């Protein structure tokens, strides 16, 4: 009977909700194991000892979360990063493009509805959003925003049966049914700007689809339903920087991209989920110290 912890840090509980979406598998898992800590589901204060599997949602944005993750690591056998925020920093990681204090000031003092507010002090913010791997060793990641329920089920059942889960994914395109002709429209656009040909690869039509630079395994639900892949499963295996991988590919295809491209418009496409773990932000962080 394994002791499982489910916790949310700097995230939005979506992944925990996805975990609960396990349905029958959840029943099975719960029957055979013990959910010892899950504040989203059951009220709890202290982090218990002797955790077998810690499932962590959300990244780290303040010292409180930093302490918690360290404590969890100490007390756990296996730590799983659940979802994009825990794994790569996630959408909150885009905030790293602005220095922490400036950001706090904008949000609490200079935003619609928060004019001249008070900047909260009960928590000590870090300068940046971090994936949990910046502080502790992570054994497995289940990527996605939110993660696929099947991935969660597979990871848990495999682990609990004493085996090591293996992820065998390449890129989203691998599962994408769209037809690829190999010819790319040189004008880039975003999916709300035009209605795409439903059968043909979106990127070829000039829609900024992150599929090629994104770890597969989700079954490509977004492109299948006519939406560009936003890259929620992070960079592909062996790739250290999702956004740069995409720029390398796009400049390989179109050479000159700048006229079509502004960082402001596309940073949220290239790095929607992975800016906090990108080499770019790592360099920026080091330089600004």
Partner 1 sequence: MTKVIFCTCGDALNDKIDYKALSAYVHTLEGVKETITMKALCTTGDKDALVKAMKGAERLVVFACTRSVCSKPIEIAMKTAGLPEDNYALVNAKEQIAYVHLDKSEATQKAKMLLKAAVAKVKAAQPLETMTYERSNEALVVGGGVAGLTAASELADQGFKVHVIERSPAIGGAMSLISKTYPEEDCTMCLRGPRMIELLTKPGIEYHVSSTVKEVERNPTGFKVTYSKKPVELDLSAKKGKGQPVEIIPNASGKYDLVYSDGPTKAQLKHVVNSKCGNCTSVYPAALMNIMEEAGEKTIEVGSVVLATGFEDFDPSGIPKWGYGLNNVITQYQLARLLDPFGPTGGIVARPSDAKAPKKIVMVQCVGSRDQEYQSYCSKYCCMAAIKHAGVIKSQRDPSAEITVLYRDIRASGYGFESLYNDTKEMGVNFIHGDIDNVSPQGDGLGITYTDGMGRTKTLDADMLVLSTGMKPSKGSEELAELFNVELTDSGFYKEIDEKVANITTRAPGVFIAGTATGPKNIPDSIAQAGAAAFMGANYMRTHLEKKVNHPVVNEDNCGKCGICRSVCPYEAITIPEDGFPEFDPLLCQSCGLCVSSCPTRALNTPSFGYDVIDAQVEAILSEKQDKPIVLGFICDDCGYNLMDTAGFTKSTYSSSFVPVYVNCMSNLSLRNVLNGVKKGADGVMLVGCVKERCHFLKGDKRVKGQMEIIADFFKTAKIHTPIKVLESSGTMVSQFTTELGELMKKVEEA
Q: How crowded is residue 265: how many other Cβ atoms within 10 Å of its Cβ?
A: 12
Q: Locate 117 and state its tokens.
A: 């507010």
Q: Per-residue string for binding with ligand SF4, 134-173, x by CB under 6 A?
A: ----------x--------------------------xxx
Q: Per-residue string for binding with ligand SF4, 195-224, x by CB under 6 A?
A: ------xxx-----x-xx-x---x-xxxx-
Phi, psi of 189 (to 5 degrees): -150, 165
- Spatial separation of the C-alpha atoms in residues 45 and 155, rounded to whole Å: 27
Regarding 144 and contact with partner 1 (CB under 8 A), the answer is no
Site for ligand SF4 in 73-102 (CB under 6 A): none
Q: Which does 230 bind (CB under 5 to 8 A by kind): partner 1, ligand SF4, none?
A: ligand SF4
Site for partner 1 in 253-282 (CB under 8 A): 253-258, 261-264, 267, 279-282
Q: How crowded is residue 119: how many other Cβ atoms within 10 Å of its Cβ?
A: 12
Contact 66, 135 (CB under 8 A): yes
Phi, psi of 123 (to 5 degrees): -120, 145
Instruction: Choose among 26, 185, 158, 188: nearest CA to 80.
Output: 158
Contact 217, 148 (CB under 8 A): yes
Give residue 188's Cα distance to chain centre: 25
Q: Which does 223 bind (CB under 5 to 8 A by kind): ligand SF4, partner 1, none?
A: ligand SF4
Q: Per-residue string for binding with partner 1, 229-258, x by CB under 8 A?
A: -------xxxxxx--xxxxxx-xxxxxxxx
Nearest to ligand SF4 of 57, 128 (CB atom): 57
Contact 275, 253 (CB under 8 A): no
Q: Which does 28 bind (CB under 5 to 8 A by kind): partner 1, ligand SF4, none?
A: none
Phi, psi of 146 (to 5 degrees): -80, 170
Phi, psi of 55 (to 5 degrees): -105, 115
Q: Which does 255 bind (CB under 5 to 8 A by kind): ligand SF4, partner 1, none?
A: partner 1
Residues of this chain that bind ligand SF4 (CB under 6 A): 144, 171-173, 176, 178, 180, 201-203, 209, 211-212, 214, 218, 220-223, 229-233
Chain residues in the site for partner 1 (CB under 8 A): 97, 168-175, 180, 182-184, 211-213, 216, 236-241, 244-249, 251-258, 261-264, 267, 279-284, 287-288
């Amino acid at each position: 009977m394994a002791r499982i912890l489910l916790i949310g840090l700097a995230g939005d509980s979506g992944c925990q909700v996805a975990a609960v979406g396990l349905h029958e598998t959840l029943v099975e898992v719960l029957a055979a194991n013990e959910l010892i800590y899950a504040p989203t589901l059951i009220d709890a204060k202290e982090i218990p000892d002797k955790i077998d599997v810690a499932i962590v949602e959300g990244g780290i944005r303040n010292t409180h979360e930093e302490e918690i993750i360290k404590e969890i690591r100490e007390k756990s056998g296996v730590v799983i990063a659940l979802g994009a925020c825990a794994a790569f920093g996630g959408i909150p990681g885009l905030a790293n493009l602005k220095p922490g204090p400036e950001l706090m000031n904008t949000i609490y003092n200079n935003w619609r509805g928060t004019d001249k507010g008070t900047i909260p002090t009960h928590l000590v913010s870090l300068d940046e959003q971090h994936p949990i791997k910046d502080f502790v060793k992570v054994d497995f990641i289940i990527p996605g925003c939110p993660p696929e329920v099947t991935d969660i089920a597979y990871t848990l059942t495999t682990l609990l049966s004493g085996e090591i889960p293996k992820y065998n994914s390449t890129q989203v395109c691998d599962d994408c049914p769209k037809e690829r002709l190999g010819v790319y429209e040189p004008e880039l656009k975003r999916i709300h700007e035009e209605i795409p040909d439903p059968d043909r690869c979106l990127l070829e039509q000039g829609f900024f689809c992150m599929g090629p630079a994104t770890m597969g395994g989700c079954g490509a639900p977004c492109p299948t339903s006519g939406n560009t892949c936003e890259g929620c499963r992070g960079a592909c295996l062996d790739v250290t920087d999702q956004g740069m991988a995409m720029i390398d590919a796009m400049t390989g295809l179109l050479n000159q991209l700048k006229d079509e491209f502004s960082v402001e418009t596309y940073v949220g496409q290239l790095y929607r989920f992975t800016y906090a773990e990108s080499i770019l932000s790592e360099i920026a962080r080091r330089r600004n110290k």
